């Protein structure tokens, strides 16, 4: 079996990075963003393209990454004869940009305005129906050509989103270790690479060193070195590390918790953080490593107990349903280096809750 590492063609990050977007694109580009994001970025993007004497076409994204919306955007970009697709904003906008670029066979630049997940770097679009319900995944043949992160813009986003990104990134190292130990496939169909493993380790180390400091900066909406480092960890280190290293129990446990309405208010990374704590108990990690993860979560505001997940009264039957959903066929929990049953997951969740509740 081959080892595969996959990543974006170019990753750009820094304060004011969006002011050079025209130079990085270098061709007539089709920029899509929602109303709010367009309002805060259009002037800078327009100025940047004028400086390099390239044309730019703006289009409002209507909010849902559906096949109908993507088709509408495709036609608009084709009519304008654009040579690059640029998505600016959050998850669904960026997914739509990836899909438009794929169908038109054009290069794609992704410009996130938040750092709440590692999805910007991935070769994946999630399609929803027009009413917002899940449709299907579109697995892309390659990652976006360019990722551009403006640290100043991201610093001004709600700090909870940055923390959610840290929760998502927190799982990367431990899930990749599971895949390496079990010789499981990564997300691009190959065995984990040493490079993917190293990025995952660096992601964890960066979170431990700079996560709390980055939150302090984000709460004041200012950009610091620590915040810059965490943006890279949340986005690139976690994204490439996970895609090239693989997923494990934490994300499956996240998926299990999506069946509980009490958890619907949580962001993806907030559920993943508790899933990571449960994974550490599931795999019987040393207590000092469990404590390091749990105390980090407490310091930055990630949930470490069922109560903090929104579950005020624990119904063990419901938690068992979560455990069963976590172990569904095809879930990445089966990349754990031993057979995992719903009973194992139930025990890990309850133990993680007991420990987290005591902090």
Catalytic-role residue among 118, 268, 344, 353: 268
Identify the active-site residue in 24, 254, 344, 353.
254
Identify the active-site residue in 210, 251, 344, 353.
251
Q: Give the helix, strand, coil percentages of the chain, each rounded to 5.
A: 55, 10, 30
List the catalytic residue out of 168, 210, 344, 353: 168
251 is catalytic: yes
CA atoms of 132 and 164, how far apart (whole Å): 22
Tell me if residue 334 is catalytic. no
What is the C-alpha to C-alpha distance for residues 58 and 230, in angstroms, rounded to an integer? 30
- Asked if residue 355 lies in contact with residue 276, where contact means CB atoms within 8 angstroms, the answer is no
24 is catalytic: no
How are strands ordered across the β-sheet holding 56-60?
A: 10-14, 146-150, 108-112, 84-89, 29-33, 56-60
Residues near 258 by Cβ (< 8 Å), separated by ≥ 6?
264, 271, 325
CB 300 within 8 A of CB 214: no
Burial 14-49 (b: 16+ CB within 10 A, else e): beebbbbbbebbeeebbbbbbeebbeebeebbeebb
Residues annotated as part of the active site: 168, 251, 254, 268
């Amino acid at each position: 079996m081959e080892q595969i590492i996959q990543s974006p063609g170019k990753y750009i990050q820094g304060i004011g990075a969006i002011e050079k977007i025209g130079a990085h694109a270098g061709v007539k580009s089709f920029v899509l963003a929602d109303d709010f994001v367009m309002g805060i970025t259009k002037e800078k993007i327009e100025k940047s393209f004028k400086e390099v004497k390239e044309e730019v076409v703006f289009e409002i994204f209507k909010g849902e990454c559906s096949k109908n919306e993507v088709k509408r955007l495709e036609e608009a970009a084709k009519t304008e004869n654009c040579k690059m697709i640029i998505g600016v904003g959050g998850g669904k906008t960026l997914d739509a940009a990836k899909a438009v670029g794929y169908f038109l066979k054009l290069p794609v630049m992704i410009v996130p305005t938040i750092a709440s997940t590692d999805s910007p770097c991935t070769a994946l679009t999630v399609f929803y129906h027009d009413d917002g319900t899940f449709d299907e995944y579109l697995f892309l043949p390659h990652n976006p050509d360019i990722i551009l992160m403006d640290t100043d813009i991201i610093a001004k986003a709600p700090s909870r989103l940055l923390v959610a990104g840290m929760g998502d990134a927190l799982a990367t190292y431990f899930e990749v270790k599971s895949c390496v130990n079990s010789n499981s496939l990564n997300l691009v169909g190959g065995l984990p690479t040493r490079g993917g493993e190293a990025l995952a380790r660096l992601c964890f180390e960066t979170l431990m060193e700079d996560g709390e400091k980055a939150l302090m900066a984000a709460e004041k909406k200012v950009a610091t070195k620590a915040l810059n480092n965490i943006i890279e960890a949340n986005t690139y280190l976690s994204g490439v590390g996970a895609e090239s290293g693989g997923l494990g129990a934490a994300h499956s446990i996240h998926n299990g918790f999506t069946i509980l309405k009490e958890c619907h208010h949580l962001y993806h990374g907030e559920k993943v953080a508790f899933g990571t704590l449960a994974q550490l108990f599931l795999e019987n990690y040393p207590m000092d490593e469990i404590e390091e993860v749990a105390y980090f979560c407490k310091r930055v505001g990630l949930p470490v107990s069922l109560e903090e997940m929104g579950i005020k009264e624990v119904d063990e039957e419901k938690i068992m349903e979560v455990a069963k959903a976590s172990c569904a066929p095809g879930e990445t929990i089966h990349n754990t280096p031993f057979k995992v049953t719903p009973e194992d997951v139930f025990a890990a969740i309850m133990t993680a809750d007991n420990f987290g509740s005591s902090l």
